[in-house]
Structure formats: C-alpha cells, structure tokens
Structure 1
Amino acid sequence: MLIYGSRATKLKAEPIVYTCKHCQSKNTTTMVMFQKYAHVFWIPFCPIKKLAVTQCEHCKQVLEQKQFDPELKEIFAEQKSTLKTPIWTFIGLALLIVLIVTIIQDEKKESAENKVFLEQPQVGDVYTMRTKEGNYTLFLVKEVTKDSIGYWMNNYEVNKISGLHKIPANGDSAYLPITVYMARKELLPLLDKGEIHDVSRKK
C-alpha cells in the first residue's frame, strides 16, 4: 500500500509591524512561516508551497493565510521572499532521480553485454526469447560454429517476462532435446527488434 500525503515544517516565527484588526493592538502580531511538502512513506519527496499563520499576542486571535487582509498578504509576500526552501524537502525527488539514472545505466550496461554475448556466442548461453505469440521462453545454446548456433527450446512459455522464474530450471531436462540452427548474423537483428530480450552466461 502506497502511503503518501503532505506535511508542513516550521521555518520561522517573527513579530511583524501590524495593527491587529480584532483588538487594535499595535505590533503584537507574530507571523509563523511554514514549508509544506509532499511525502511518500513519510520520506520528504518535494516542496509544495510556503504557508503562514498569524497570532496576536494580546487577544490571541489566530488567522490562517486564507483569512489574511491585503496588508498581511503583502507582509507574507515579503517574508516569503527571504526564506529558502529546505534542501531536505527534495530528498525523495533526489532519490527518484538517482534510481532512474541507475536503471538507465544498468540497462545500457546490460544491452552492451548482450551485444557482446551475441557477437561471441558460447555453448551454455541462455537467450530469453519473445515468441511470435508474444510469450516468453528460453533457448539454450548447445552448439556454436563459425556461421551458426544450435539451440534447444524450453518446453515452457510464460505470457509475462516477470514470470520466467516459473519456468523449471532443471537443467537440460527442461528443454526439448532437438537442435535447431540459426545463423549467427541473425542474432543482433533479433536483439534490436526485441525478440531476444536478454542473454545470460554462466561465469
């Protein structure tokens, strides 16, 4: 379950030059400034806006920002312009950016690695293949020649790539022991078209 929402953190409280409209006391009002921010799982994600409330120390009247008169609005605008947004309110957004960059880098690294594996195939390589029906299965390379590879096709298919772990990993017994041949020059185009989704090689 995704837990998200918004919170506010106090930035400062400062007396302001203002006459309370409720009790007519002069310069007895304090403006308290807040930074409102969005959070996900209680981790600050990104700042939203700055808010303020006022309280008269004489009559104790509290005004929310929506109740500000033009004079208080002007004071609020001046106060807000002097306040910096706390850097920590960007933590979640920064983590998200780092995660996205990491995923992109990992995908680029995996893509480059797959290309090398297909240019230099080895017996024992396993190809994650997308079938014509849009399902996914595994090919096990059993033979490599100068111009072609011979592979065994797994007996099982799944409709989502995330379900590949469900395919029995019982060694060669999970594959149909009939060798099918494919020209090596066809491998990279299949990778480019997404029909070969991934290549794994035992280290």
Structure 2
Amino acid sequence: MLLLIGTKDSNVKNGFISNEKCPNCKIDNTLNFSIFRRYVSITSIPLFPVGKIVDIQCTSCKNWFYYEDLSLEGQEKLKNEKLDSSLWMFSGTFILFLLLIYGINQYFQDENETDVLIQKPIVGDVYNVKFSNGYYSTFKIDKITNDSIYATHNDFDAYLPYEVDDLDKTENYTDRKVSYSKKELIRLYQNDEIIKIRRNAYSVETQKSEYKIPVTK
C-alpha cells in the first residue's frame, strides 16, 4: 500500500469584512474573505491542522489582498471570526492511536498465549520462527513423543515477521523434516527464536478425541 503524506487546505468559513475600506479602491464593505485550515494528511486521511490561510478579495476592483494589507481594526475582526470545530482534522491521529493501542494489546496477548502453548505442544501447532540470518519461517508439528516433537519445516522464508502467516499453507510443507526435544523448544522460545505459536480449533478437537475412552457394552 502506497502512503502519501502531504498538506491540504479546507475552506472553513466565508464572509465579508464590515466597515473596512478596500486598500486599493477605498470603497467600504467590498472585501470578501475565505478562511482555510491547512492540515497534514496521509493518503487523504487528515492527521492534524498546521495553520490557517486567509484569502481576501475586493468585489469592486477584483484585487486580492493579504491579511497584513488590512487595517488593524480589519485584522482584529478576522481574528475574532468564530470557526467551526476542526476536530475532524485529528481523525487520522485518533485512528493511528487506536491502531497503536490495538497492536500493543495484541502483542501482549500473543506473548501470554505463546507462554502457555509452548508448555504443551500438540499435533497441528504451527510455530513462527526466526533464523540467525534474520529471515522468518514456520514449522508444523506432525508427531509428539514423551520428550520430543517431530515437524515439517515450511519450504519458504519471509524477510519480515508479519509476512510469516501468509506462508502457512498446506502445499508449503513437503519434505523438510525437523525434530526438537521439548526442552529445546523452551530454549528456542526463551532466545526469541520462536516468536509465535498458532493452534487451531481442529487440532484441539483432534487431540481430545484421541483421549476419549471407548464405551463398551
């Protein structure tokens, strides 16, 4: 996704300056004004306002003027113009703040969940792992014994951690077999080489069914 950062202007008020002579033609009550709020935006989403622009034009001589061209009394009248609330210009900042809070909360939830899942691995668990070369990948548990797990490693690697989940497809697990002791798994997790564990409901139900006691008549 391409993010475009820049500034935009939004017209927030229009009107005329009463009892003010045009600096050029000296006619009263001919100066119209337009006030614009300038704001920073990211891909058209406003982040926050950064200033105000005032356009002034005489309806008689059609000349344009700066705020500084007005008399002190005229400048004061423009300063006292009440503008509508510009809270909507902070909407992007508010959204980014919520995303940040969500990301932090999700991070700690994943950490707590992984703390639990690493203690009791089951068949079907998918481990997101980080290699010493900086790349990321996954492996899926196929078999578990008393002290070890046996898994199939993903055929593909990712450069960024958030890309790893996209690699978790059945066709990506072929013949790269790996095995670890359960103690090794704990050590890898403590060394931040295992960064996430995903367990789906089907894996849980499968494990439960394996431990059901058959009913005899």
Same fold (TM over 0.5): yes
Picking from 189, 196, 210, the partner of 1:198 is: 196
**What residue in structure 1 maps to residue 170 of structure 2?**
169
Picking from 45, 49, 52, the partner of 1:50 is: 52
In the TM superposition, 1:95-110 aligns within 5 A as 95-110=95-110
Q: Judge conservation of contact 2:152–2:174 (CA < 8 Å) in 1.
A: no
**Unmatched 5+ residue regions in structure 2?**
202-217
**Unmatched 5+ residue regions in structure 1?**
none
Amino acid aligned to 2:94: A
d(CA) in 2 for partners of 1:34 and 1:171?
Answer: 55
Q: Does 1:61 align with 2:63?
A: yes
d(CA) in 2 for partners of 1:45 and 1:108?
Answer: 27
Identical aligned residues as a percent: 22
Q: Secondary structure at the match of 1:91?
A: helix
Moved more, 161-170 or 25-34: 161-170
Q: Secondary structure at the match of 1:21?
A: coil
d(CA) in 1 for partners of 2:58 and 2:154?
Answer: 78
Q: Secondary structure at the match of 2:182?
A: strand
d(CA) in 2 for partners of 1:194 and 1:151?
Answer: 20
Distance change in 2, residues 1:173/1:136 (3 Å): same
Distance change in 2, residues 1:200/1:175 (3 Å): farther
Aligned length: 195
**What residue in structure 2 maps to residue 22 of structure 1?**
24
**What residue in structure 1 maps to residue 153 of structure 2?**
154
What's the offset of the Cα at 1:118?
1.1
CA deviations 1:52-75 (Å, max 9, x no partner) are 12223443332134x535625444
What's the offset of the Cα at 1:18?
2.3
CA deviations 1:131-181 (Å, max 9, x no partner) are 233333333332153xx43233516352524256447634864441x5432
**With structure 1 as the length reference, what TM-score do the two structures score?**
0.75
**What residue in structure 2 maps to residue 37 of structure 1?**
39
What's the offset of the Cα at 1:4?
4.8
**With structure 2 as the length reference, what TM-score do the two structures score?**
0.71
